[in-house]
Amino acid sequence: MRRIVAALLLVIRAEQAPAQVDVTSHQTIFPGPYDAEVVQVIDGDTLEVIVALWPGLRAEYRVRVRGIDAPELYRPACREEAELAEVARQQAERLYPPGTAVQLRDVSYDAFAGRVVADIRRWRTDRWLPLGKELMDRGLAVEWDPRQSAFVWCPTGTEPVSE
């Protein structure tokens, strides 16, 4: 009898408890860390990873690096941006080659193509290094600012890339 009462109290408490996280909200941030492995580098600020969600459950995602803007590889605004985008992709691939163990932190939905946004880090002998900072330190990314011009990577007066 005592076990039945305890079970009923547990059910009643569970029904009264407010939801901890609204997983359907695009504003929700999942702090992590989540262990993942790099599958491929898409461009300077996007990696494809396999993330371990819990034992026996893994999922493949494209993850955009939180807080940075790297030159666009697929729709550059000018020739200079296209060249810088390839350099940024190559550098990201040198730092995070396929098979690299990474951590994802502060994961949230992205506005485009089913990606997520996260702080992506790799272990380097004594600490976790964020990819965003590594690219910014090398001049291959800037801090993301939604008010910035789309031509941040293009010198003034350059010709746009023709399609």
Q: Are 60 and 50 in contact (CB under 8 A)?
A: yes
Residue 6 lies in a domain: no
The confidence score (pLDDT) of residue 9 equals: 40
Are 45 and 65 in contact, with CB atoms under 8 Å apart?
Answer: yes
How big is the CA angle at 145 (ends 97 and 27), to the nearest 5 degrees?
A: 80
| Domain tally, the chain | 1
- In this structure, is residue 93 part of a structural domain? yes
In a domain, 69, yes or no: yes
Q: What is the pLDDT of residue 14?
A: 45
pLDDT tens-digit readout, 69-99: 999 988 898 999 999 999 999 999 999 999 9
Collapse the DSSP code of 119 into the 3-class scheme (helix H, G, I; strand E, B; otherwise coil) and give the result.
strand
CA distances from 58 to 31, 53, 61, 150 (A): 18, 6, 10, 35
Let me know if residue 67 belongs to a domain: yes
| pLDDT, average across residues 46-64 | 93
Query: Cβ distance 101 to 35 under 8 Å?
Result: yes
Return phi, psi of residue 73, to 5°: -85, -35
pTM recorded for the entire structure: 0.77
Q: 117 in a domain, yes or no?
A: yes
Q: Could you tell me which of 90, 91, 92, 71 has the C-alpha nearest to residue 81?
A: 71
Tell me the pLDDT band of 11, cut-offs 50, 70 and 90: very low
Number of other CB atoms surrounding residue 138 within 10 Å: 13
d(CA 128, CA 123): 4
**Taking a C-beta distance cutoff of 8 angstroms, is the pair 117, 64 a contact?**
yes
On whether residue 146 sits in a domain, the answer given is no
User: In this structure, is residue 78 part of a structural domain?
Assistant: yes
Domain of residue 58 covers 29-141
Alpha carbons within 13 A on the beta-carbon side of 114 = 5
Taking only the tens place, the pLDDT of each residue in 138-156 is 999 999 887 775 568 888 7
CATH number for the domain that contains residue 60: 2.40.50.90
